[in-house]
């Protein structure tokens, strides 16, 4: 069954929140914060046979986009779905004439770091002890977009 990538709508919110709560390593956001992102149009979801199996969300600001979260449901991992979500997001940022996409990730999150590096993101810095529970450094990544 093919995976479809599309923009999220407000009706997707229960499935997005449920997926996020079950994804270890995902950032945890409130429903209001997701609603705001959906309204500003930068949440993409992956769907297979009508089941929401992944999402990515980003925020635009000052010519740069920031990825706020990306998660794939446990039963769908390692099937290239996060890759597809990222490959769909990057042209959206280019269309909006963003100069770069930024993000931060826990140092130990090797799955996410592998995903970002595969998409061409480069490590550009570190924020010591940025995360709590457990305390951990954030690694900063940037993807520069050609004008
Ligand atoms: C990170 C995450 C979104 C990847 O989703 P996915 O659909 O399984 O990823 P893909 O199958 O598209 O894999 C893309 C690349 O990511 C990397 N990757 C994914 N899972 C990995 C793992 N368990 N270990 C190491 N690298 C991994 C690999 O480089 C992979 O490319 P490859 O398959 O050619 O080796 C998923 O593991 C997840 O939801 N994690 C929990 C939430 C999270 O940590 N989000 C990041 C918040 S900053």
The domain that contains 103 carries what CATH number?
3.40.630.30
Q: Is 147 exposed, middle or buried (0-12, 13-18, 19+ CB in 10 A)?
A: exposed
Residue to mutate (ligand 1; options 16, 19, 45, 78; most atoms within 8 A of CB): 78
Question: Helix H segments across the chain?
Answer: 13-22, 31-40, 81-95, 110-118
- pTM for this entry: 0.96
Measured from the Cα of 83, ligand 1's closest atom is 12
Extract the tokens encoding 77: 């991992």
Give me the number of domains the chain comprises.
1
CA of 63 to the centre of ligand 1 (A): 27
Q: What are the pLDDT digits (tens) for 34-73?
A: 999 998 869 999 999 999 999 999 999 889 999 999 999 9
Ligand 1, CB within 6 Å, residue ranges: 23-27, 69-72, 77-83, 105, 109-112, 114-115, 118
Residue 37, domain extent = 3-144
């Amino acid at each position: 069954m093919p995976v479809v990538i599309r923009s999220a709508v407000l009706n997707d919110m229960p499935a997005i929140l449920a997926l996020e709560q079950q994804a270890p390593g995902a950032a945890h956001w409130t429903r209001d914060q997701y609603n705001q992102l959906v309204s500003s149009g930068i949440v993409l979801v992956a769907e297979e046979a009508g089941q929401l199996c992944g999402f990515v969300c980003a925020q635009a600001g000052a010519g740069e986009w920031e990825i706020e979260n990306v998660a794939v449901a446990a039963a769908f991992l390692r099937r290239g779905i996060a890759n597809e979500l990222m490959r769909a997001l990057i042209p959206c940022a280019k269309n909006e004439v963003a100069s770069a996409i930024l993000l931060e990730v826990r140092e130990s999150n090797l799955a996410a770091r592998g995903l970002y590096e595969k998409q061409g993101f480069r490590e550009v810095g570190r924020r010591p002890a940025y995360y709590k529970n457990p305390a951990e450094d954030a690694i900063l990544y940037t993807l520069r977009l050609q004008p």
